């Protein structure tokens, strides 16, 4: 009786289309398997499961930089070029494009402070 309770808790019901897909996949894998070769891992049967990386050409990066400077966001460019937003940001930075919304560097802060004189109460530099 305890075995039935355990079995019913671990069983997963699949819809007919899902079960048909899995059955087809399993049959194909078993047909490709050698007789008596039951310890082959999924990785060995299916190969690498990593997503293939998309490489951006120099022309695409130049076009991306132009669009970014015209006002496109990193998210829009990532969707257009089918890559992650961090990839877009990294490629733009490597191309020498200043990113919007970034904190100023210490050098920029110093040059602004040097160019603006401190205000005084009388309105004149003392």
Measured distance CA(111)–CA(109) in Å, rounded: 6
Cβ neighbours, 10 Å, residue 92 = 19
pTM of the model: 0.46
CA distance 26 to 103: 54
What pLDDT, in 10s, does the model give residues 28-68?
Answer: 777 766 555 555 555 566 666 666 677 889 999 999 999 99
Residue ranges covered by each domain of the chain: 58-94
Secondary structure letter of residue 13 according to DSSP: -
**Alpha-carbon dihedral angle through residues 21, 42, 45, 15, given to the nearest 10 degrees:** 0
């Amino acid at each position: 009786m305890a075995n039935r309770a355990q079995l019913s808790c671990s069983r997963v019901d699949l819809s007919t289309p899902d079960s048909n897909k899995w059955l087809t996949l399993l049959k194909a894998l078993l047909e490709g398997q050698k007789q008596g070769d039951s310890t082959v891992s999924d990785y060995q049967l299916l190969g690498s499961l990593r997503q293939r990386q998309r490489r951006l050409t120099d022309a695409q990066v130049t076009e991306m930089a132009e669009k970014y400077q015209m006002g496109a966001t990193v998210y829009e460019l990532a969707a257009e070029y089918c890559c992650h937003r961090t990839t877009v940001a990294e490629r733009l930075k490597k191309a020498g494009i200043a990113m919007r919304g970034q904190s100023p560097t210490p050098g920029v802060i110093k040059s602004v402070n040097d160019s603006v004189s401190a205000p005084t109460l009388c309105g004149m530099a003392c």
